[in-house]
Structure 1
Amino acid sequence: MPVTPRPRTHSALALAAGLLALTACSGPDPAPPPSSAPPVFASEEEALTAVTETYQRFQQLSYQILAEGGADPERIRSLTSDEVAETEMDGYRRAADQGYVFTGAPTIQSTALDLWLPYPDPLQVVARAELCIDISNVQVVDGAGTSVVSTERQPQSLWSVDISYRENDQTLIVGAKEKVDDRCDD
């Protein structure tokens, strides 16, 4: 007995019905995402400038607090993460307890950008750099006016610094800092 092939329309209809069922479950097209904020940095050059300026503001305020004998140390919070602020305020307290007087100010000799991101990472970091800080103009004396600066002190030191984006006030802050070396490579 001859076998008559069945038309393939039943298979095609079953496949089409299955695909329609799948698309029906997906619902309407999602709404477009809300307009996103502009990037923190548009270029590497902009990031380098911002890192240098942010750290310079931090450094100026930090040394101002030290020069004022540690008065109103909470001011540093406006330019740092909570962790950096706590470390700095502890240093201000120790210097004040010792009766140290600071004169002069450090200067940034160079900034080498290691990383920059147009948008903050999950830890809010937007840039990481190594900064060469010249401390040769900084003098520290005790209550008797005697210098407590070691004669072995190097005139420069190298620091690794994370710059973070503080979303609530949309500012750049020093998120982390660590001394890398007592000298800068020239």
Structure 2
Amino acid sequence: MPQTSRARSASTIVLTAGLLALTACTGPEPTPPPKNSPPVFENEEQALAAGTEAYESYLGVWNRVVADGGVDAARIDEVTTGELRTFENESLSKLKELGWTFSGAASLEVFTISDWYSKPDAAGVLIVGSACVDMTGLHAMDGAGESVIKPERPAKRTWAVHIAPGAADQPPYVLAKHEVIKEGSSCGE
């Protein structure tokens, strides 16, 4: 009998040592992410300020790329995301192919928000709004020096805008959607 209990004792020791080795290899339980992260915006004023700043940043980069005739259109990536990024890159790259030269700039006249979220919605959107842009300061000439801007071009263009959180290498807020919704002689039309 003493041999049996020695065998049991040896196997118990081996099993215990194995379990201890396994538990020693595992680290502490990971800390779960906080269930309630703080809101991005506490009120509409903060959302409006962030949306306005994001749109002005976008328009600034857009104006610089246009002024350079579409050269290095990928600069627009700094201030856009998703499908809008692809669309803007393709559109701005075409300017280089056309050989047009640009002067002046488009300018933001009014930015308004129709909705804002304290956290991104399912599509990643934080702010839904519109931007009315004055286009009268932007001029374009073809290779012969002739204006390519039609005299009947509307002075103002209003865009539906979605603002989303920026990636780590971007500003805090970037454009995710930018579609013309109306054109006219003023923002109120």
TM-score normalized with structure 2 length: 0.76
Aligned: 1:146 with 2:146 = yes
Deviates more, 1:45-54 or 1:87-96: 87-96
Corresponding residue number in structure 1 for 2:80: 80
Segments of 5+ residues of structure 2 without an aligned counterpart are 1-30
Corresponding residue number in structure 2 for 1:22: none
Task: Please give the root-mean-square deviation of Cα atoms over the aligned residues, in Å.
Answer: 1.9
Task: For 2:159 and 2:147, locate their aligned partners in 1 and report how far apart those are by CA, in whole Å.
Answer: 24
State the identity as a percent. Answer: 31
Q: Which aligned segments of 4 or more residues in structure 1 are displaced greater than 3 angstroms?
A: 166-170
Corresponding residue number in structure 1 for 2:188: 185
Corresponding residue number in structure 2 for 1:69: 69
Task: For 2:85 and 2:102, locate their aligned partners in 1 and report how far apart those are by CA, in whole Å.
Answer: 19
Residues 87, 167 of structure 1: CA spacing in aligned structure 2 closer, same or farther, 3 A cutoff? closer
Q: Offset of 1:32 from its aligned partner?
A: 8.4
Q: SS at 2:40's partner residue?
A: coil
Q: Offset of 1:73 from its aligned partner?
A: 1.5
Q: Offset of 1:44 from its aligned partner?
A: 0.3
Task: For 1:152 and 1:120, locate their aligned partners in 2 and report how far apart those are by CA, in whole Å.
Answer: 40
Residues 33, 64 of structure 1: CA spacing in aligned structure 2 closer, same or farther, 3 A cutoff? closer
Task: For 2:39 and 2:103, locate their aligned partners in 1 and report how far apart those are by CA, in whole Å.
Answer: 39
TM-score normalized with structure 1 length: 0.77
Task: For 2:107 and 2:63, locate their aligned partners in 1 and report how far apart those are by CA, in whole Å.
Answer: 11
CA contact (8 A) 1:124 1:166 kept: no
Residues 147, 32 of structure 1: CA spacing in aligned structure 2 closer, same or farther, 3 A cutoff? closer
Aligned: 1:107 with 2:110 = no
Residues 97, 44 of structure 1: CA spacing in aligned structure 2 closer, same or farther, 3 A cutoff? same
Deviations 1:62-109 (A, max 9, x none): 110111122221121111013111111111122111111111111111
Corresponding residue number in structure 2 for 1:116: 116
Aligned: 1:41 with 2:41 = yes
